[in-house]
Structure 1
Amino acid sequence: MYTRSNGISQDASNQIVVRKVAVPQWTDADLELPAEVRRKLADSVPEETRRKYDMWWGKAARWCQSHGRTVLPMSTQTMTTWVDFLTTVVSVRTGEPYAVASLNQAVAAIVSYHEAVEQSPPGTRQARELIRAHGASLGREVRRSSIITPDQLLDVVRLPQCNPRQDDPIRALVAARNRFMALVSFNAWDRRSEFVTANLNHFGVADQVLRWRFPKSKTDQAGKGADVFMPATGDELCPVQAFAFWRSALAGRGVNDGRALRRIDRWGHIYPALSGDGLNTLSKDLTKAAGCYVDGWGRTFTSHGWRASGYSAAKRAGASAEAARRHGRWSETSGVPDRVYDRAQDPVQDNPMAAVTAARRAAAGQGDADTVTP
Structure 2
Amino acid sequence: MNKPPLLPVVVPTRTHSLVELPSSVARYVEAGLHGAENTKRGYAADLRSFQDYCEHHQLLHLPAEVTTVAGYVSQMADRGMKLATIRRHVAAIAKLHQLAGQPSPTSHEALNVVLDGIARIVGKRQRQAPAFTVAELKQAIKAMDLTTPTGLRDRAVLLLGFAGAFRRSELVALNVEDVELTRQALVIHMRQSKTNQYGQEEDKAVFYAPSADFCPVRAVQEWITCLNRTTGPLFTRMSRGNQNRPAQPSQNRLTDQSVNDLVQRHLGIMYSAHSLRASFVTTAVEAGQSNKAIKNQTKQKTDAMIERYARLDDVKRFNAAQYLGL
> Which TM-score applies when normalising by structure 1?
0.69
> How many residues in Structure 1 have an aligned counterpart in Structure 2?
301
Code of the residue aligned with 2:272 in structure 1: it is T
Q: Is 1:287 matched with 2:267? A: yes
**Could you tell me which residue of structure 1 aligns to residue 224 of structure 2?**
247
Could you tell me which residue of structure 2 aligns to residue 55 of structure 1? 45
> Deviation of residue 56 (structure 1)?
0.4
Pairing 1:149–2:117 present = no
The 3 A distance-change label for structure 1 pair 230 and 84 is: same
1:105 corresponds in structure 2 to 88
Q: Which amino acid aligns with 1:144?
A: Q
Q: Which amino acid aligns with 1:36?
A: R
Aligned to 1:354: 322
The change in CA–CA distance for 1:273 and 1:75 in structure 2 (over 3 A counts) is farther
Alignment of 1:192-231 (within 5 A): 192-207=168-183, 209-221=185-197, 223-231=199-207
What is the match of residue 119 of structure 1? 101
Residues 1:176 and 2:156 aligned together: no
Q: What is the CA deviation profile of residues 18-61 of structure 1, one whole-angstrom value per residue up to 9, with x for unaligned ones?
A: xxxxxxxx99954868542344336742x332222121012122
Q: Which amino acid is the alignment partner of residue 285 of structure 1?
A: R
SS of the residue 1:87 aligns to: helix
In 1: Cα distance, 2:220 partner to 2:295 partner: 24
Query: Which residue is equivalent to 1:71?
Result: 61
Where 2:236 maps in the other structure, the secondary structure is: coil
Q: Is the 8 A contact 1:190 1:307 kept in 2?
A: yes
Percent identity of paired positions between Structure 1 and Structure 2: 22
Q: Is the 8 A contact 1:99 1:135 kept in 2?
A: no
Match for residue 22 of structure 1? Answer: none
Which residue number in structure 2 is paired with residue 343 of structure 1?
311
Aligned to 1:314: 284
The one-letter code sitting in structure 2 at the alignment partner of 1:276 is D
Instruction: Tell me: CA distance 1:353–1:62, structure 2 relative to 1, closer, same or farther (3 Å).
Output: same
Equivalent residue number for residue 32 of structure 2: 41
Query: CA separation of 1:72/1:139 partners in 2, compared to 1, >3 Å: closer, same or farther?
Result: closer
Q: Could you tell me how far apart the structure 1 residues matched to 2:33 and 2:149 are?
A: 34
Structure 1 residue 134 and structure 2 residue 118: aligned? yes
Pairing partner for 1:305 from 267, 270, 275: 275
**1:250–1:256 contact (8 Å) kept in structure 2:** no
Shift of 1:131: 2.5
Matched-pair contact (CA < 8 Å) for 2:53–2:72? yes
Query: Over alpha carbons, which structure has the higher Rg?
Result: 1
Helix, strand or coil at the partner of 1:177: helix
Shift of 1:221: 4.8
SS in 2 for 1:270: strand
What is the CA–CA distance in structure 1 between the aligned matches of 2:118 and 2:82, rounded to whole Å?
A: 9
**Which residue is 1:80 aligned to?**
70
Q: Which structure has greater helix proportion?
A: 2
How far apart are 1:123 and its partner, in Å? 0.9
Is the contact made by 2:64 and 2:105 (CA closer than 8 Å) also made in structure 1?
no
Q: What SS does the corresponding residue of 2:212 show, helix, strand or coil?
A: coil
